[in-house]
Amino acid sequence: MLRPITQALICALGLSITTLVQAQDPITIKFAHVVAEHTPKGQGALLFKKLAEERLPGKVVVQVYPNSSLFGDGKEMEALLLGDVQLIAPSLAKFEHYSKGIQIFDLPFLFDDMAAVDRFQKGPGGQKLLRSMEDKNITGLAYWHNGLKQLSANKPLRVPADARGLKFRVQASAVLEEQFKAVRANPRKMSFAEVYQGLQTGVVNGAENPYSNIFSQKMHEVQKYITETNHGLLDYMVITNTKFWTGLPADVRTELEKILGEVTVSVNQQADALNQGDKQRILEAKTTEIITLTPEQRAEWRTAMQPVWKKFEPEIGADLIKAAQEANQAP
């Protein structure tokens, strides 16, 4: 029979061993996303894992879940808030319930090219949007590029009238819905994981995606035409749960932020090459004709879609839209 004092000692020892073991347990960061690994976001998530585990050995473990394998895009934000996933990078089209300002990135024909997007994201307007959801326990850590979107369909789209009456898959974004209504097409909201099948079965006739998403989801196999419109942006915000992030040990958080900075530079430098490589692969597959617009045809699309800006100006803010337009001017 153990004497009470011995029992108490054993208990205390047991407790402190448990605390010690717990203190040494690595922090697990689940990073979920909806795209394939060979895409800008897919590569970024893997590089983040590699660098975090190399530089914080035993302290941090990163588990990456691509292709909606943990959460699809209808669920990932909720999962982040519940603490079931620690990092996600939804496209900027998927934030309208959390920050009206972020809708700016969906306005058609707003940015002339990715350099302009970069200038706006790095400027005061873009940086403010990263912090615009902290009252909702969401912290924006970085912007990652994918690139500009192209229209696809089973008929050639050269002028806006060609899109009339067609059903286009859109992300969960009121701006993107209005963009298609502006050319008298029918937008249908659909999660990313369902797009291939939606196109294959004719639930939708067309879509808008950067080349990397078209190729990695094999959408070119079910779309005969892609029109190189470059009409809108598909970029991402890497976000975390604010309470989780601020609760990390300071040294770990600082290192992870440094790593994310490096990963961001790498993703944003390589996204364009990845998209151009996938454009070539689509051409080589010979399933799909890629249509280049004349400047006059492209201007027609812009004229038809641009009224959407005015519709969303009260929600987004005229100043922010002005700042984005100014980013089109190279310094």
Helix/strand/coil for 218: coil
The piece of 34-42, 122-130, 292-300, 311-319 that touches ligand LMR (CB under 6 A) is 34-42
Cβ contacts of 125-132, under 8 Å, gap ≥ 24? 125/319, 125/320, 125/323, 125/324, 128/101, 129/99, 129/101, 129/102, 129/104, 129/237, 130/237, 132/99, 132/101, 132/102
The answer for residues whose C-beta is within 8 angstroms of residue 288's C-beta and 6 or more apart is 152, 220, 223, 224, 225, 226, 282
When the beta carbons of 255 and 278 are compared against ligand LMR, the nearer one is 278
Q: At 298, which helix (H) or strand (E)?
A: helix 295-305
Confirm if 129 and 135 have CB atoms less than 8 A apart.
no
91 contacts ligand LMR (rule: CB under 6 A):
yes
Q: Which of 171, 240, 242, 288 binds ligand LMR (CB under 6 A)?
A: 171
Q: What is the DSSP letter of 91?
A: B
Min separation Cβ 106 and ligand LMR, Å: 11
* Of residues 43 and 146, the one with the C-beta less far from ligand LMR: 146
The one among 86, 121, 205, 213 contacting ligand LMR by CB under 6 A: 213
Distance CA(12)–CA(34), nearest Å, equals: 46
In the complex with ligand LMR, the residue whose CB is nearer, 171 or 268, is 171
* Options 192, 301, 309, 312; binder of ligand LMR; rule CB under 6 A: 192
What residues from 225 to 284 belong to the interface with ligand LMR (CB under 6 A)?
Answer: 234
- Which one, 149 or 298, has the nearer CB to ligand LMR? 149
Binding site for ligand LMR (CB under 6 A): 34-35, 41, 73, 91, 146, 171, 192, 209, 213, 234
